[in-house]
Structure 1
Amino acid sequence: MADPTQDSRAWWRTSIIDIEPGRIDIRGYPIQDLIGRLDFVEMIWLMVAGEKLAPGRRDLLQAALVAAVDHGPLAPSISIARMAATCGVGLNSAMASAINVLGDVHGGAGQECLTIYAAVDERQQAGMAIPDAVEQVLRPYLDKRRNIPGFGHRFHKRDPRAVKLLALTEAAAARDEVSGRFVAIGRGIEAWLGDQKKTVLPMNIDGATAVIFAELGVPPELGRGLFVLSRSVGILAHAWEQTQQGGRIKGPVPPAVGYTYEGPQNKTDE
Structure 2
Amino acid sequence: MSDIPTDAEAVSGWWRTSIIDMAPGKIAFRGRPVEELIGNVSFAQMIWLMTRGELPDAGQAALLEAALVAGVDHGPQAPSIAAARMAATCGVGLNNAMATAVNMLGDVHGGAGEQCAELYYGIAALMDAGADLPQAVPSGLDNWRSRHGKIVSGFGHRFHKPVDPRAPRLMALVREAAEAGVVSGRFAEIGETVQAELARQRGGRPIAMNIDGATAVIFCELGFEAPLSRGLFCLSRSVGVLAHAWEQTQQGGRNKGPMPPKFLPRYEGE
Structure 1-normalised TM-score? Answer: 0.95
Mapped partners of 1:256, 1:142: distance in 2: 44
1:146 aligns with 2:159: no
Q: Deviations over 1:206-262 (max 9, x none)?
A: 000000000011111111000001001111110010001000000011011222111
Q: What residue is the counterpart of 1:66 in the other structure?
A: 69
The reply on whether 1:235 has 2:241 as its aligned counterpart is: yes
Q: Indicate the residue corresponding to 1:256 in structure 2.
A: 262
For structure 1, which segment, 159-168 or 139-148, has the greater mean C-alpha deviation from structure 2 after superposition?
A: 139-148
- AA aligned to 2:232 is L
Deviation at 1:145, TM superposition (A): 6.2
Which residue identity does 1:85 align to in structure 2? A
Q: Partner letter of residue 210 of structure 2?
A: N
Distance 2:262 2:150 in 1: 36
**Residues in 1 aligned to 2:142 and 2:11: alpha-carbon distance in whole angstroms:** 51
- What residue ranges of structure 1 are gaps of 5+ in the alignment? 265-270
Question: Structure 1 segments of 4 or more deviating over 3 A?
Answer: 142-145
Q: Quick check: 1:179 aligned with 2:184?
A: yes
Aligned to 1:207: 213
Q: Matches of residues 116-155 of structure 1 in structure 2 within 5 Å?
A: 116-139=119-142, 141=145, 146-155=150-159
8 A Cα contact 2:174 2:188, kept in partner: yes
1:24 pairs, out of 15, 24, 27, with 27
Greater Cα shift, 25-34 or 251-260? 251-260
CA distance in 2, matches of 1:110, 1:127: 26
Aligned residues of 2:123 and 2:137 also touching (Cα < 8 A): yes
Matched, 1:170 2:175: yes
How far 1:188 sits from its partner (Å)?
0.7
Amino acid at match of 1:124: M
User: 1:142: how far off?
Assistant: 8.8
Matched, 1:102 2:105: yes
CA drift of 1:48 comes to 0.8
Provide the secondary structure at the position in 2 that maps to 1:51.
coil
Gaps of 5+ in 2: none
Aligned residues of 2:160 and 2:208 also touching (Cα < 8 A): no
Residue 130 of structure 2 aligns to a residue whose secondary structure is: coil
The CA deviation at 1:129 is: 1.3
CA 1:160–1:33: 2 relative to 1, 3 Å: same
Instruction: Give distance in 2, aligned partners of 1:177 and 1:252.
Output: 45
Question: Matched residues in 1 for 2:209 and 2:116: separation?
Answer: 11
Q: Does 1:55 align with 2:61?
A: no
- Indicate the residue corresponding to 1:161 in structure 2: 166
Helix, strand or coil at the partner of 2:262 = helix
Tell me by how many angstroms 1:137 deviates.
Answer: 1.6
Q: Which residue of 2 aligns with 1:194?
A: 199
Q: Which secondary structure state, in structure 2, belongs to the residue aligned with residue 200 of structure 1?
A: coil
Q: 1:165 to 1:95 in 2, by over 3 A?
A: same
Cα distance, 1:95–1:145 mapped onto 2, change above 3 Å? closer
Separation in 2, partners of 1:136, 1:261 = 46
| Residue identity in the other structure for 1:183 | A
Give the superposition deviation at 1:185. Answer: 0.1
1 CA distance for matches of 2:124 and 2:256?
47
Q: CA RMSD in A?
A: 1.5
Deviations 1:125-162 (A, max 9, x none): 22211121111121353999621100111100110111
Deviations 1:154-195 (A, max 9, x none): 100110111110000011001111010000000110111111
Aligned-partner residue type, residue 135 of structure 1: P
The alignment partner of 1:253 has SS state of coil
Q: Residue 19 of structure 1 aligns to a residue in which SS?
A: strand
Tell me the SS of whatever aligns to 1:255: coil
